[in-house]
Amino acid sequence: MGKTDNLWALTELSISCIAFEEFSAVELLGVLKLRQDVFVLEQACLYEDIDGIDEQSLHLLMKSPAGELVGYCRIVPPGVKFELVSIGRVVTPLVLRGRTLGTELMRQAVLTTQQLFPGQDIEIEAQAHLEEFYNRFGFQRVSEEFMLDGIPHVQMILASV
């Protein structure tokens, strides 16, 4: 990752929420590369990443002080993927895991989603091995385990407050 070799505090990260139309070409390429690196290459999962949902979603970008993409997820409005609003494509680079970036990214995603869609439950399709991670944010499993793109998943919902 180059510039990210230097340690920095979570407080130095910038987090922005943008509509698809607001992506710069460089940002979009960075997001697609990160998703490819993790979901396709690292997890050896051949699936349709460009699924027609990005254009209808909001995108949370977490950047290092040097401006590098270090975390990403999308917020999908209700009625697009599920009946409920959802958070998906939650991803951080492999080389940066263990620095609590995923926790901060998900915390911000939940807060942003609750602000944008007040009083609404949030649904996710979580990789089954990450169920405990999502439990920390209040998500509860609402389905049996099922296979999605060759990886065990569970549906989870965070009830509105």
What is the model's pLDDT at position 7? 56
Q: Which of 59, 75, 61 is nearest to 114 (CA)?
A: 75
Residue matched to tokens 């399709």 = 125
pLDDT in tens, 106-157: 999 999 999 999 999 999 999 999 999 999 999 999 999 999 999 999 999 9
Model confidence at 1, in pLDDT bands (50, 70, 90)?
very low
Q: Which of 75, 70, 110, 72 is nearest to 93 (CA)?
A: 70
pLDDT in tens, 45-67: 888 999 999 999 999 999 999 99
Token pair in block for residue 41 = 């290459």
Domain, as residue range, for 116: 2-158
Other residues' Cβ atoms within 10 Å of the Cβ of residue 86: 23
User: How many domains are there within the chain?
Assistant: 1
Residues 115 and 103: their CA atoms lie apart, in Å, by: 18
**What's 23's domain CATH number?**
3.40.630.30
Burial 15-39 (b: 16+ CB within 10 A, else e): bebeeeeebeeebeebbeebbeebb
pTM: 0.91
> Could you tell me what percent of the chain has a pLDDT over 70?
93
Cα atoms found within 13 Å of the Cα of residue 109, Cβ hemisphere only? 34
Q: Which of 67, 38, 69 is nearest to 151 (CA)?
A: 38
Token pair in block for residue 85 = 């609003």
